[in-house]
């Protein structure tokens, strides 16, 4: 390996590693699709029988089974299903009676907007909390923040949401309790109706992100170079800003990417409470109505986003590691 690559640029050592991570994430996504399809497509009873009900004759059931392709072997069905997913055509939504692609295309932008608003609010707040408590390690402020964030990660989203509605919509009448999102709504109206969903989502995400940020910065503060700088007489403020932060950026971005994956779970509850027309509430409807094609597509999108976030966290960790860059 040594000397085989002429330009010893920063990237040459990292590229194969990155390629490996991306490949591994794709394989995981493929395996996830096997799990999702097995649970939702193969294991539950006969969709044809269920659609037609108890009174259907055996011929009717057999005909529908053939029409739905349920009489083909499992592997063929999986291959067809996966092919459809890859081409962006996961089939027909049984309940909405329109292509799954169209149903999702209508909802996905709303969810992305909600996620973007939440990230916009939570990232700066979480970074501030995390860095402040790392700097004051062991102090009263740190201990208070520790108990607060520790509690916040264990609070169910619907408690924050219901308390938020109670205070801001019922008592103070500041904000609407139902999120109305439409093309015509002005930006201000959209922001107002997103305020409570964003608040409910942000509580858990901020707490999680702040804890991971604190750990990342605290880890840097323990390094010998910090002690060295302090012994040299560099003011603590400068040690933090000029020495610690550049080194902590990698771990912090890693923490941010991982914490954002908590949005996925939270969105399911929050979108449902506020009747927010997003992807997560769509998935809950798909479960209630047992609309399997829609459910599978939603599940795969969520798993894809999750894996992408983990991958970003991974890649940032690699890029931020000076030992790997220096190779």
Binding residues (CB under 8 A) for another protein: these are: 28-29, 31-32, 35-36, 39-40, 43-44, 137-138, 146-147, 150-151, 153-159, 162-163, 165-166, 170-171, 177, 218, 222, 261, 264-265, 268-269, 272, 283-284, 286-288, 290, 292, 295-296, 299, 302-303, 306-307, 310
Closest distance to another protein from the beta carbon of 57 (Å):
26
Residue 249 or 308: which CB sits closer to another protein? 308
CB of 130 to another protein, least distance (A): 15
The answer for 275, left when phi > 0, alpha when psi is -120 to 50, beta otherwise, is left
Separation CA 28–CA 322 (nearest Å):
28
DSSP letter (8 states) at residue 5: S
Closest to another protein by CB, 63 vs 268, is 268
Least Cα distance to 292 among 61, 106, 45 occurs for 45
Name the residue nearer to another protein (CB basis): 110 or 293: 293
The least CB distance from residue 282 to another protein, in Å, is 11
Nearer to another protein, 122 or 296 (CB): 296
Q: Which long-range contacts (CB under 8 A, 24 or more apart) does 156-160 make?
A: 156/269, 157/200, 157/201, 157/203, 157/204, 157/266, 157/269, 157/270, 157/273, 158/200, 158/269, 158/273, 160/199, 160/200, 160/203, 160/204
* Rounded Cα distance, 172 and 192, in Å: 14
- Closest to another protein by CB, 202 vs 283, is 283
Per DSSP, the residues of 74-99 read HHHHHHHHHHHHHTT---B-TTT-SB
- Least Å distance, CB 186 to another protein, is 26
| Nearer of residues 294 and 317 to another protein, judged by Cβ | 294
Whichever of 63 and 82 has its CB closer to another protein, that residue is: 82
Q: Residue 313: CB partners within 8 Å, gap ≥ 6?
A: 253, 254, 255, 257, 258
Least distance to another protein, CB of residue 269, Å: 5
Residues facing 99 on adjacent strands: 92
Helix (H, G, I), strand (E, B) or coil at 175: coil
- At closest approach, how far in Å is the CB of 166 from another protein? 5
Closest CB 66 distance from another protein, rounded Å: 22
């Amino acid at each position: 390996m040594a000397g085989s690559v002429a330009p010893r640029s920063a990237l040459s050592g990292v590229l194969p590693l990155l390629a490996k991570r991306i490949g591994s994430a794709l394989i995981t996504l493929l395996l996830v699709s096997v799990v999702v399809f097995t649970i939702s497509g193969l294991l539950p009873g006969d969709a044809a029988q269920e659609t037609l009900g108890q009174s259907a004759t055996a011929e009717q059931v057999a005909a529908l089974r053939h029409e739905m392709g349920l009489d083909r072997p499992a592997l063929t069905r999986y291959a067809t299903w996966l092919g459809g997913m890859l081409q962006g055509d996961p089939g027909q939504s049984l309940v909405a009676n329109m292509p799954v692609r169209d149903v999702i295309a209508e909802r996905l932008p709303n969810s992305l907007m909600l996620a973007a608003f939440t990230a916009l609010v939570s990232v700066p707040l979480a970074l501030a909390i995390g860095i402040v408590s790392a700097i004051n390690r062991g102090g009263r402020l740190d201990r208070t923040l520790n108990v607060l964030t520790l509690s916040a990660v264990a609070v169910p989203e619907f408690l924050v949401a219901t308390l938020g509605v109670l205070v801001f919509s019922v008592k103070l009448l500041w904000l609407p309790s139902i999120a109305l999102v439409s093309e015509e709504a002005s930006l201000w109206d959209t922001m107002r109706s997103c305020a409570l969903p964003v608040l409910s989502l942000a509580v858990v995400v901020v707490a999680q992100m702040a804890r991971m940020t604190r750990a990342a910065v605290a880890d840097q503060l323990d390094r010998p170079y910090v002690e060295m700088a302090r012994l040299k007489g560099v003011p603590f403020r400068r040690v933090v800003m000029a020495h610690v932060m550049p080194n902590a950026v990698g771990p912090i971005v890693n923490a941010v990417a991982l914490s954002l994956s908590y949005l996925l779970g939270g969105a399911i509850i929050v979108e449902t409470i506020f009747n927010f027309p997003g992807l997560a509430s769509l998935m809950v409807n798909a479960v209630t109505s047992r609309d399997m094609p829609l459910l599978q597509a939603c599940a795969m999108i969520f798993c894809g986003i999750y894996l992408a976030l983990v991958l970003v966290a991974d890649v940032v960790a690699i890029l931020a590691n000076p030992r790997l860059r220096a190779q």
